[in-house]
Structures are given as C-alpha cells and as structure tokens.
Structure 1
Amino acid sequence: MGKAGRIACIFTPYVVSVAALVAIIFVGLGSTKSGSGTLDNLYFFRADLSNLTSSGGSSLADALASDLGDLANLGSDSFEVALAKSKAEGNIRDFYDIGLLGYCSGNKTSSGSFEVDYCSEPKAEFAFDPVTVWKLNTSSSDSDSILPSNLKKAIDTYKTVSKWMFIAYAIAFGATIVELLVGLFAICSRLGSLFTSIFAGIAFFFTIASSITATALFAALTGTFNSALKQYGMHGSMGKNIYVATWIATAFAFGGSLFWLLSSCCCSGRSPYHGDRRRGRGISAEKAPYTYERVGSPYGGVQPTTPYMHQQAPHDVPMDTFHQSNNYQQRQNAYEPFRHV
C-alpha cells in the first residue's frame, strides 16, 4: 500500500498541472493557423475594419471611386489619407485578430461571420504594428506619427508590455514542464513533492501575472482604439475564448501548487509494516534467546539465579524462621515466580 498510496496522493496535482499546461498551450497557439475553427477563435483583440468611413461619415470606397489620385475631399488628415490609399490598393482586410505569437486576418461575410484565411508566422515577442500591416507608411521620417496621438501612445505601450507578457507566458510554460518532470520523483518520497511544489509556485506566479497583464493591456487598448478610430468606422473588441483559457490555466496552476504542497505533508510512500518489521528485528537481535530467570524475592532482596533444581533452601527470608524444618519440603514444592527474558 505504500507506493500505491503515494501514487494516489500525487495523482490529483499531476493531472491538474497537465491541465494547466494544456491551457497555456492553447493560449500560445491562438491566431497562428488559418482554417482551424478552434484556434481562429483564440485571440486577445479583434480590429473590425469592414465598415471604413471618412471622418465626415462617407464610405472611403465611395470617396475613392471617382479618382484615386484626388484625395482633396478627404481633408488634411494624414491618417485618413493613408488609410484611404491602403484600402484602395487592397492592403486592408475586413478584420485582424491579434494573438500571443501572431495575427490572423480575413473577410467578413454578409451574414456577419468572420472567416480567417491568413495567419502570420508565429514569432516570439510578437507585437502587432498597424502601420506596417495596413501599409500606412508615408514618406515622412517617422511613419508612426501618422497615427492619432492617443492611439500611438497606446500602441507604444502595447509593444513594450507585450514583450513582458510573452516572457511571462514562456516562463509559466517552462516552469510547468519542469514541474511535471520533477513531479515524477514525487512518487518516491514527500521530498520530491516539496521540490515539485517550488516549481509549481513559480508556474502559478507567472501564469497569473501573464493573465492579469493580458487582460489589463488589451482592455486599455480596446478602449483607446474605439475612442480614437470610431470616427473612421473602425471597431475593436476583446476575444473571449483566449481569456477563458488563460484564466483556466491560472486556476489549474493554483490548484497544482496547492495540491503539490499538500502531498509533501502526507503519504510518505513507505509500507506501514516496513518500519515495524525493522524495529522487530532490532529488538530480537538485542534480546537473548527465550529463557526463564528467577525473580528476586520481594522479602529478602535479589536471590541467586542458579537453576532451581540445584538451589538450596533460602535462609534469609523472614518467614523461614517459623518453619525451617517442618515446611522445608513444602517450600521446595511451592510456587515461585519466574521472569520471562
């Protein structure tokens, strides 16, 4: 029962840790493969550009229908001009989904559904750059200045924080793998569970840190995006499934760290009879073979331990002074206690 009990003890934290790893993997794979119904719905942020308009409210497509070179009617807004050019040249898709390692784009159908047909190559420390992706580059030295000022600040913050977010997810992923590998040694002893709980705590810390960062970052980005670009018919929204996945990973990571710690306090893995057998062997080795030894008289102190059949009648017991001759034979046949050694 020792090993079996130990395996049963670490079964729950091990399964919970595996579930946390799977959830983190789904977060990382979100928006990395087109045509996958599951991965296409895993995104942190979606920019809907299917209804682009000029700042005056007219459709950019209608404004450019007469003459692409005549942009006077679009005003002096450099962002609006660059947006109109890129839209006319077919560089802007209907929507863009932003994930941890890349982005996906596609067209919006007449029924209102979003169909992904392109995903960028997965990249570490990925950050979506609308100026580059939407091809809004102009001849100015600082192409980022084309964005509205508040949106530019939000994009700059997003680019900086997204690197930290990727590192946090990467550490959480690596720590969870190490946790599962070290957890195999927890079968042997509670000390293995203690070491595993250390890595489980690290995994939980970086998982919850990355989940908080992602949620706060894209909530702020969504608000700024909508306030800055609403006049152009753009709409930003946060995804749902990827946040469910990251917070499920956080919950499982917490459960794993808690259960690993509990498993280090119970289920030692030893057989419950193993220690008793060892103690029994130690005691039998110290004892002499089973013999009987005469117990000292309660009246006259400790008596000689010579064999009973050869022992002479004692004369130092106080009661012997009354019956030294008549009761000698009776004393020889009387009961005398013995000690089991």
Structure 2
Amino acid sequence: MGKGGRVLCIITPYLLTIASLVCIIFVGLGCTNSNSGTLNDLYFFRADLDNVTDSSTVTSKVTDALSDAGVKVDDGDITTALQEVQKQFDLMDFYTIGLWGYCDGNINNDKYNVTECSKPKSMFWFDPLEVWNLDQTGLENALPDGVEKTLNIYKSVSKWMFVAYIVAFVATIMELVLGVFAVCSRWGSCVTTLVAVVAFLFTAAASATSTALFAVISGVFNEKLKPYGIVGHMGRNIYVATWLAVAFSLAAGLFWMISTCCCSGRSPYNHKEHRNRAVTAEKAPYTYEPLGPYGTPYTNTNTSYPPTAPATGQRTNAYEPFRHV
C-alpha cells in the first residue's frame, strides 16, 4: 500500500490516543478553578452540609464532644450549638473533591455556587477533620467508628489512585510521541503497542479505583453522617470522562496492534528485488542463443539479406555452437 496507506492505518489509533489524553486531562483539571463552571462540575465526591444545622436527631455523643470543647448545651438545644460552631469556623454549604484538591461554596436556590478552590497538591486527600476545623473542637471523637476507618482507607488508596492517573497520563503522551515513528515501519507500531498497553492498564486501574473508593465513601457518609445533616453524593461528569478515557485507550491499543500486522509502508513497484525478478522473468527456460569465439555470444554482423555465402577458400564450421540457458 505504500506510505500513504501506512499513514491512513496510523491515523485511527492516533486520534483515539488523543481522545484518551483529553479525557485524562479533564479528570485532572476537576476542582482546580473556581471561575470555571465546566471544571466545577468535574468532581469525584460532594459532601452537602446545607442541612447540618437542621438535623434534630444528633446523638448525645456529639453533645458530650461539644461539652469537652467548652461549649455547654442541653440535649434539646443541639441545633443552636451546631449553628454557633458553623459561624465560628465558617463552614460552607458543600465541598467537592477532585484529584488535586477540593472546592467549596454555597447553595442558593438549589444552585451550587463555588466560592473557592484549594491550591493543587500532589497525593491529595480530603481530610474533613482538618478542612471543617473539627479537630480544634474535639468533634473528631464524635465521628462514628465506620467513618474514621473509611477515612484512613481513603487516605491510603487515594495516593495509589493519584499515582495511577499520573502514570496513565505520561504513558499516553509517550504513546503519541512513539506513534509518529510508527508511520515509518511496523516495528514502530510494535513499540507503540507496548506503551499503549501500559497506558490502558493504568487508566483502567485509576478509573476503577476512583469509582470503587468514592462509592464506598458515599455509602458510609449517607449511613453514618446523614443523621447529622451531612449527605454525600458521587459526581457524574468526571466518571464519564475517566471511563471514556479507558474506552479510547483500549480502542487505540487494539488499532496499534492491528497496525503491526498490515500496511508495511513499502511499495512493491519500487523494490529492487522486484525489478530483478522482472528482468529474470524475461528469459524463458530451455532457450538457446548462439555463441561466438571464446564462448561469447555470437553476433551476426552481416546485415544483408539473404546472408552472403562465405568466400572461396575460407573454412566453414560444420555446426554453430549454442549455449544452454
């Protein structure tokens, strides 16, 4: 097919790789810019605290923790106590969690308005005790055991998740760079296919980890903290982006693999061996050609027709030698 066919064979996996990279970039940009409505909708998990002061089913364990912090309240006045804590530490109505940080804001007319986003940080994990300033009031003792255990798991797994996304991002970029050399030969496609497999595995691992991790966190929040007026929700757009990255990465890897088996990029009409075979094929087998003196091919220099007889006294051969070809 030649170079043109080779280029057409590479275009499909190359475009799929670019699409996968774009999706991974969107996942990484979630919750990094408070002025971007698109990026604000890219979050793994959202904790709603809008109804935290409206809860009337808070247990006496929270009351004891508040008393230890110096806030004395009666069992029937727990709502007022939580309102005072919220004013003191300026708790926001909601918090969204991304790969590099979190954003917070207020809810107005059922509309989530992001106020501020944290500074991007590697190996980020959301610590509610620190962000909500609960560790300064002794309220960390009021958290159910299930929540504390889940937070410890989240802290450890989030580091692996972050590394997996970074490796997937780097491997996808390498896939694009090596894909340029894949135009030249099928060996380039072979190397690119190996990198594409690595990119797919880490993209799939990161996506599966984030989905499972925040599904567990959401369930624990709704089970353990809903009585306190704190509700957890998983995002939607960021999971669409991350799983699209997996699909594009898988398709790209398959097409890179196909490109190693076809479209070599060599033109059969310009190949030296083809020209040699064509010249050799002009001579049919079992043919003879006359030989001149010393075994050289005989050339008839007599241009007259019919041939002129040899002069008198000259020696003539009884036969004319031929060379078997």
Structure 1 equivalent of residue 72 of structure 2:
71
Is the alpha carbon distance of 1:306 and 1:8 closer, same or farther for their aligned partners in structure 2, counting shifts above 3 Å? closer
- TM-score, normalised relative to structure 2: 0.80
- Distance 1:85-1:137 versus aligned 2 partners, 3 A rule: farther
Residue in 2 aligned with 1:244? 240
Cα distance 1:25–1:139, how it changes in 2: closer, same or farther (>3 A)? same
How many pairs does the alignment contain?
A: 293
Q: 1:145 to 1:339 in 2, by over 3 A?
A: farther
- 1:124 is aligned to 122
Give aligned-pair identity as a percent.
50
2:50 corresponds in structure 1 to 50
SS in 2 for 1:273: helix
Say whether residues 1:135 and 2:133 are aligned partners.
yes
Distance 1:81 1:124 in 2: 38
Per the alignment, residue 227 of structure 1 pairs with 223
Question: Aligned residue for 1:185?
Answer: 181
Deviations 1:118-148, CA, capped at 9 Å, x for gaps: 00011111000001100112376xx854422
The superposition leaves residues 230-281 of structure 1 with CA deviations (integer Å, 9 ceiling, x where unpaired) of 1111111000000000000000000111110100111101112122x44324
- For 1:50, what is the secondary structure of its paired residue? coil
3-state SS of the aligned residue for 1:137? helix
Structure 1 counterpart SS, 2:74: helix
Report the CA distance between 1:56 and its aligned residue.
3.1
Aligned to 1:33: 33
Alignment of 1:203-222 (within 5 A): 203-222=199-218
Aligned ranges 1:67-216 → 2 under 5 Å = 71-74=72-75, 85-109=84-108, 111-138=109-136, 144-216=140-212
With 165-174 and 49-58 compared, the bigger mean Cα shift is at 49-58
Alpha-carbon distance in structure 1 between the residues aligned to 2:185 and 2:124? 42
- Assess, with a 3 A threshold, how the Cα gap between structure 1 residues 4 and 287 changes in structure 2: closer, same or farther: closer
C-alpha distance in 1 between matches for 2:279 and 2:9: 35
Letter in structure 1 aligned against 2:14: Y
Counterpart amino acid of 2:318?
A: Q
Query: How far apart are the structure 2 equivalents of 1:54 and 1:311?
Result: 127
C-alpha separation between the residues in 1 aligned to 2:49 and 2:232? 9
3-state secondary structure, aligned to 1:178: helix
1:74 Cα offset (Å):
4.7
Q: Closer, same or farther in 2 for the Cα pair 1:70/1:261, shift >3 Å?
A: closer
Q: What is the rounded CA distance, in whole Å, between the counterparts of 1:107 and 1:194 in structure 2?
A: 52
Distance 1:229 1:34 in 2: 27
Residue 54 of structure 1 and its aligned partner are, at CA, apart by: 6.6
TM-score where L is the length of structure 1: 0.77
Gaps of 5+ in 2: 64-68, 292-296, 301-306, 308-315
Q: 1:26 to 1:82 in 2, by over 3 A?
A: farther
Aligned pair 1:312/2:311, yes or no? no
With over 3 angstroms needed to count, the CA separation of the structure-2 counterparts of 1:313 and 1:269, relative to structure 1, is closer
Flag the 1:130–1:284 CA change in 2: closer, same or farther, 3 A.
same
Pick one of 274, 281, 284 that aligns with 1:279: 274
Instruction: Tell me the distance in 1 between the aligned counterparts of 2:159 and 2:81.
Output: 28
> Can you list the C-alpha shifts for 1:27-70, whole angstroms capped at 9, x where unaligned?
00001110201100000000000011376348xxxx9xxxx975
Check conservation: 2:268, 2:274, Cα contact below 8 A: no
The answer on whether the counterparts of 1:21 and 1:249 sit within 8 Å (CA) in structure 2 is: yes
Between 1:187-196 and 1:47-56, the stretch displaced more is: 47-56
Structure 1: where are the runs of 5+ without partners? 296-304, 315-337
Counterpart Cα distance in 1 of 2:185 and 2:299: 53
- Cα distance, 1:2 vs. partner? 1.4
Q: Hey, what's the Cα distance between the residues in 1 that align with 2:214 and 2:167?
A: 21
CA distance in 2, matches of 1:175, 1:193: 15
Tell me the alpha carbon deviations over residues 152-202 of structure 1, each in whole angstroms, 9 at most, x when there is no partner: 011111111000000000000000011111111001000000000000000
Q: Which range is displaced more, 277-286 or 217-226? A: 277-286
